[in-house]
Amino acid sequence: MPTPNQTGPNAAANHRQAPDHRRAVWLWLSLAATAALAGLAIYGSFLGTFRMEGTASARQFFNGPVLAAFWIALTALLIAGILFSSNTLRRGPSLAMHTGAVLVLLGSMANSQAGHRLANRLFSSQKIQSGLMQIDQGQTSNDVYDGSSPAPAARLPFALRLNTFSIEYYDNRPTAAAAVKSYTSDVDVQADGRTVAHAAIEVNRPLHYGGYHFYQCDYDHQLGRYTILAVTSDSGLRWVYAGMALACAGAFWLFWIQPAVAYFRRGGPPSQEEN
Amino acid sequence: MGLKWTITGAFLYAAMAAWVLSLAGHAAAWACRRRGALGLGKILGRLGWAFGGLGFAILAAGFIYRWIDVRHLPLQSMFEVFLALGMLTFPLGLFCQKFLRAQGPAASAAMGLIVLVPPAFVFQATPQMLPPALRSWLFLPHVGAYLLAYVILVMAGVQAMGCLLADAMGQPEAAIRRELATYRLVRLGFPLLLLGLVLGAVWGKLAWGDYWNWDPKELWSLATFLIYVAYLHVRGLFGGRARLANSALAALGVAGIAATVLWVNLSRFFLSLHAYAR
């Protein structure tokens, strides 16, 4: 523990920082968590390759019960670090980065399958996490499929009408693989028998309505008569984005702005001894 | 292996020739300064800088030519990405030397040359149309942040390896200097690495419906990012005292970057959503 009556050149430094042995505990905890997550990420990158299912098996693995315990432990460790470790971590930029990480983790929990099941039970709501919609041109539908059965897995409280589906090609220099420029589904959102919104859904331009994002996903390859839209819930998304923004702000503040301010105060580059 | 008999290829080889001369100039200047011939050393050093700048100007012209030729931002294929990485080594090396005192001119020239070898002799330069998923305003910011971060962090890794080498050769002063240079470079590169990851998440949400898709490339970038998170924790908590651990982590980061950029994209082994970047 820092001793308040200590004098000499190191006294100020000792007041600011926790003693070595306490810092060592937090160092090892943070390193263990970082190494565990890095190891899991590398393990996960191989999952799809051996089972030939693409990223679906990795998604399943990271959403499983064992990993759920890991995510909760990681979040708890970050919160404990913010509350109980050194004062350095509670100072502006460091706090921003670690709080950002907590927000991303909590938001992702809210956005997960398990998070939706929990929220539906708690608030007796009926929100789905993700699914697919197939709509014929000129038809209206609110059925969402999960890909496992021919019957719809859920029904949205509003419906989408597909006005037109169109494909635009690059007119000049078409190459075999990438000749398509864009896929567009022109849709109306209908609730209580009237149209409440209209959108042209393209790749990179989803529709956001009623707590869901709708993406251009696939289409009728033979006749171009129907479109397939991917539906994803937006639960927790604001927290995730806020956390990312906070973490970025903290990182640029600590590692760019503060050294730049020091540079201009000093009037030149740092000496070989300074940080 | 094969030479590129195209205009882009001509720009590329001319820039490499200029950088060979730049490296030779800086090496000769260093040798002169060691032998006490300071005047000649200064002239040779300036010559090295001039050829470095010339190589950069040629590469920049080649990049603009490629942009016009393929009609989209040329950061799609591995060829184009490495062309841009090579181009960035010169201005970033200059910046880090001038403002951080953390990078030598010869190291920048050598790095630029090494980065240009794969596009010059290995990668295919066939122009491709942009698939719909890549038509987004996030294309430049996402890829650009990563390119800048990778160049800076590889420079940090080179300094870290220099630190380990200096320690092994019993030169603690040089090791301390290089450890500090490593830290300054990681500080510069880390926020860009985080920004690239975050912009990728935002783009993933827009294009694929999810901000995180458990894609091999995503997972390897996360692992690489976490190596630098570990570095900053050790450096932040123990400063320059943990020199060996700091340098080992910064060097390991280069391995992570190499795996993310080369292995995940080039091997047929990973089924990646980022496959268009082959």
Interval B120-135: pLDDT, tens:
998 888 887 777 778 7
At residue A269 the predicted structure's pLDDT band, cuts being 50, 70 and 90, is: confident
Taking only the tens place, the pLDDT of each residue in A29-66 is: 999 999 999 999 999 988 866 555 567 888 889 999 99
User: Rounded to the nearest 10 degrees, how much is the dihedral formed by the CA atoms of A68, A72, A78, A83?
Assistant: 180
Same domain? B120 vs B181? no
Question: Taking CB atoms and an 8 Å limit, are A58 and B214 in contact across chains?
Answer: yes
Q: Does B245 touch chain A (CB under 8 A)?
A: no
At residue A149 the predicted structure's pLDDT band, cuts being 50, 70 and 90, is: confident
Q: Which residues contact B26 (CB under 8 A, 6 or more apart)?
A: B44, B45, B48, B104, B105, B106, B109
Same domain? B106 vs B181? no
Instruction: Look up the domain containing B221 and give its range.
Output: 133-278
- DSSP run (H or E) holding B184: helix B172-208
Same domain? B59 vs B82? yes
- Name the amino acid, one letter, at A38: A
Gyration radius of chain B over CA positions = 19
Spatial separation of the C-alpha atoms in residues A96 and A243, rounded to whole Å: 9
Same domain? B143 vs B276? yes
The number of domains in chain B is: 2
Mean pLDDT of A92-103: 95
Same domain? B237 vs B220? yes
Tokens of B19: 């950088």
Question: Residue A139 above 50 pLDDT?
Answer: yes
**In chain A, which among 172-231 make CB contacts under 8 A with chain B?**
173-175, 177-183, 202-206, 213, 215, 217, 230
Which residues of chain A neighbour B274 with C-beta distances below 8 Å? none
Helix (H, G, I), strand (E, B) or coil at B57: helix
Please name which of A45, A47, A102, A51 lies closest in space to residue A74, comparing C-alpha atoms. Answer: A102
User: Quick one: pLDDT at residue B273?
Assistant: 65
Question: Given B208, B214, B234, which is nearest A62 (Cβ)?
Answer: B214
Same domain? B119 vs B151? no
Spatial separation of the C-alpha atoms in residues A250 and A257, rounded to whole Å: 10
Taking only the tens place, the pLDDT of each residue in B158-213 is: 999 999 999 999 999 999 999 999 999 999 999 999 999 999 999 999 888 889 98
Same domain? B142 vs B275? yes
Same domain? B160 vs B66? no
Question: Given B99, B201, B220, which is nearest A244 (Cβ)?
Answer: B201
Same domain? B117 vs B141? no
Spatial separation of the C-alpha atoms in residues B176 and A109, rounded to whole Å: 43
User: Quick one: pLDDT at residue A55?
Assistant: 74
- Asked whether the beta carbons of A186 and A167 are under 8 A apart, the reply is no
Please state the ipTM of this predicted complex.
Answer: 0.92
Task: Indicate the residue among B98, B124, B150 that finishes a domain.
Answer: B124
User: Quick one: pLDDT at residue B276?
Assistant: 54
Which residues of chain B neighbour A177 with C-beta distances below 8 Å? 128, 131
Mean of the per-residue pLDDT values for chain A? 85
Count Cβ atoms below 10 Å from residue B267 Cβ, excluding itself. 12
Helix (H, G, I), strand (E, B) or coil at A215: strand
- Asked whether the beta carbons of B219 and A58 are under 8 A apart, the reply is yes
Same domain? B221 vs B104? no
Taking only the tens place, the pLDDT of each residue in B230-269 is: 999 999 888 888 899 999 999 999 999 999 998 877 766 6
Question: Residue A9 above 60 pLDDT?
Answer: no
Q: How far is A7 from chain B (nearest CA, A)?
A: 22
Task: Indicate the residue among B101, B124, B147 that finishes a domain.
Answer: B124
Mean pLDDT of A156-168: 92
Q: Which neighbouring-strand residues pair with A145? A: A132
Q: How far is A265 from chain B (nearest CA, A)?
A: 13
Please name which of B194, B220, B234 lies closest in space to residue B273, comparing C-alpha atoms. Answer: B220
Spatial separation of the C-alpha atoms in residues A44 and A59, rounded to whole Å: 9
Task: Indicate the residue among B71, B92, B124 that finishes a domain.
Answer: B124
Taking only the tens place, the pLDDT of each residue in A192-216 is: 889 999 999 998 899 999 999 999 9
Domain edges within chain A: 11-120+237-266, 133-233
Same domain? B77 vs B147? no
**Backbone phi and psi for residue B271, each to the nearest 5 degrees, phi listed first:** -95, 95
Same domain? B147 vs B278? yes
Residue of B nearest to A208 (CA): B206
Among A31, A204, A264, the strongest candidate for a mutation testing the B interface, having the largest count of B CBs within 10 A, is A204
Token pair 């080039």 is found at B266
Spatial separation of the C-alpha atoms in residues B56 and B156, rounded to whole Å: 21
User: Quick one: pLDDT at residue A267?
Assistant: 85
Q: How far is A205 from chain B (nearest CA, A)?
A: 6
Question: Taking CB atoms and an 8 Å limit, are B238 and A23 in contact across chains?
Answer: yes
> pTM of this prediction?
0.90
CA B50 to chain centre: 21
User: Quick one: pLDDT at residue B212?
Assistant: 93
Question: Residue B275 above 70 pLDDT?
Answer: no
Mean pLDDT of B49-76: 94
Interface size A-B, in CB pairs within 8 Å, comes to 159
User: Quick one: pLDDT at residue B128?
Assistant: 79
Question: Given A38, A182, A247, which is nearest B132 (Cβ)?
Answer: A182
Which residues of chain A neighbour B101 with C-beta distances below 8 Å? 269-270, 272
Q: Does B201 touch chain A (CB under 8 A)?
A: yes
